[in-house]
């Protein structure tokens, strides 16, 4: 009887967790409008305007008008709510370029963390260790991909 009850409890936990995961999304977009009074942000995502609710007021530091951002949103209390946001355009110093595997290691200018990215074909041109670059990152599956870069 105890074994059956523990299996039912495990199934209940799985059933509750799966819909929560299905309601989360990660999107890249440009901030179209910020309405702090109503705690809303409107993003232009692939040519469509989407409205998100904000509960954590510290996110307004990242969510500024005309800035490209990566956001993670979840369905909370029936509203699409941004729970995490980061700039989509980043700056850092190139530390290593792996031409064979189309990878690059960059030390972030703000956090000083080293990150390895994949490069979109054709983006590798003229990249050398020691350069400071501004770059755009997109998530494609489990990988982060640099789609564009330029010198500051």
Regarding whether 104 and 74 lie in a shared domain, the answer is no
Parent domain of 101:
89-150
Residue 43: other Cβ atoms inside 10 A: 24
Q: For residue 134, what are its two tokens?
A: 């501004």
> How many H-runs (helices) and E-runs (strands) does the chain carry?
1, 10
What is the distance between the alpha carbons of residues 113 and 116, in angstroms, rounded to a whole number?
Answer: 10
pLDDT, tens digit (0-9, with 9 covering 90-100), for 79-132: 999 999 988 778 899 999 998 888 999 998 877 899 999 988 878 788 899 999
Q: For residue 52, what are its two tokens?
A: 């998100």
Regarding whether 96 and 134 lie in a shared domain, the answer is yes
**Number of structural domains found in the chain:** 2
Task: Residue 70: name the closest of 37, 42, 29, 102 by CA.
Answer: 29
Q: Residue 60 maps to which CATH number?
A: 2.40.50.320
Task: Residue 87: name the closest of 106, 110, 74, 68 by CA.
Answer: 68
Mean pLDDT, all residues of the chain? 84
Question: What predicted TM-score, i.e. pTM, was given to this entire model?
Answer: 0.54
In a domain, 33, yes or no: yes
Regarding whether 71 and 35 lie in a shared domain, the answer is yes
Regarding whether 109 and 98 lie in a shared domain, the answer is yes
């Amino acid at each position: 009887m105890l074994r059956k009850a523990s299996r039912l409890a495990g199934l209940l936990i799985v059933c509750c967790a799966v819909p929560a995961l299905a309601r989360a999304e990660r999107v890249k977009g440009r901030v179209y409008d910020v309405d702090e009074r109503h705690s809303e942000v409107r993003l232009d995502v692939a040519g469509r305007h989407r409205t998100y609710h904000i509960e954590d007021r510290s996110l307004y530091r990242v969510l500024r008008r005309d800035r490209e951002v990566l956001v993670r949103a979840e369905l909370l209390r029936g509203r699409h709510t941004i729970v995490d946001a980061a700039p989509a355009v980043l700056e850092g110093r190139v530390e290593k370029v792996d031409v064979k595997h189309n990878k690059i290691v960059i030390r972030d200018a703000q956090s000083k963390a080293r990150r390895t990215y994949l490069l979109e074909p054709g983006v590798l041109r003229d990249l050398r260790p020691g350069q400071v670059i501004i770059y755009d990152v997109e998530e494609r599956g489990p990988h982060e991909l640099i789609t564009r870069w330029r010198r500051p």
